[in-house]
Amino acid sequence: MERRDVLKTLSAWIAGAAAPLAAVAAPPMPLKKTAVEWKALVSPAAYQVLFEEGTERAGSSPLNAEKRPGTFVCAACYLPLFDAAHKYESGTGWPSFWQPLPGALGTSTDFKLILPRTEYHCVRCGGHQGHVFNDGPQPTGKRYCNNGVALSFVPQGETLPALRS
């Protein structure tokens, strides 16, 4: 699928006229920016989490209480990452999801706490989002434990922001 086809599909999905992002076969175009460029676009707290793999304090994100239908997007590049229908209360103090949107996340293994954990990041900008665990609800059994500062929420019916270039 060519870039223009991906953009058409995304536009149609945003307008509610097409299938969800699962219909998008090609990954989004990678986005590379310097540290100075990212720092100009996101808050200091978001930069520390997204590009220095930090963690925000548990319970500090207003997105923990977000219950409306909509889409959670990467705070750095605005790639849609999670449908609000897949969010649940995990009791961890961070927004948690049982499933990401198809093709939105990449993973790697981190050993920062000695034991290996699966870290996930935005596939487009590489921004660190959180860690995935195998203690979530069915049907996936996964818990995508996300830093709220790494996300933005777009309520259903509002226009998703254009992907940053």
Pairing type for strands 117-122 and 128-133 reads: antiparallel
Residue of 77, 122, 125, 145 marked active site: 145
Predicted local confidence at residue 26, as pLDDT: 60
Residue 92: is its pLDDT beyond 90? Answer: yes
Predicted local confidence at residue 68, as pLDDT: 98
Q: Region 153-162: what's the mean pLDDT?
A: 96
Locate the domains of the chain by residue range: 30-155
Residue 102: is its pLDDT beyond 70? Answer: yes
Q: What is the mean pLDDT of the chain?
A: 86
State residue 67 phi and psi, 5-degree precision: -125, 0
Residue 160: is its pLDDT beyond 80? Answer: yes
Which secondary-structure segment (H or E) carries 35? helix 35-41
Predicted local confidence at residue 1, as pLDDT: 37
Which secondary-structure segment (H or E) carries 5? helix 3-14
pLDDT tens-place string over residues 110-139: 877 678 889 999 999 999 999 999 999 999
Q: Which of 34, 23, 33 is nearest to 1 (CA)?
A: 23
Termini Cα distance of the chain: 19
Q: Region 81-110: what's the mean pLDDT?
A: 96
Predicted local confidence at residue 109, as pLDDT: 83
Q: Quote the percentage of the chain above a pLDDT of 90.
A: 75
Q: Would you identify the CATH topology of the domain 30-155?
A: 2.170.150
Asked about 125 being catalytic, the answer comes back as: no
Residue 64: is its pLDDT beyond 50? Answer: yes
Report which of residues 22 and 128 the model is more confident about: 128
Q: Region 56-83: what's the mean pLDDT?
A: 97
Predicted local confidence at residue 13, as pLDDT: 38
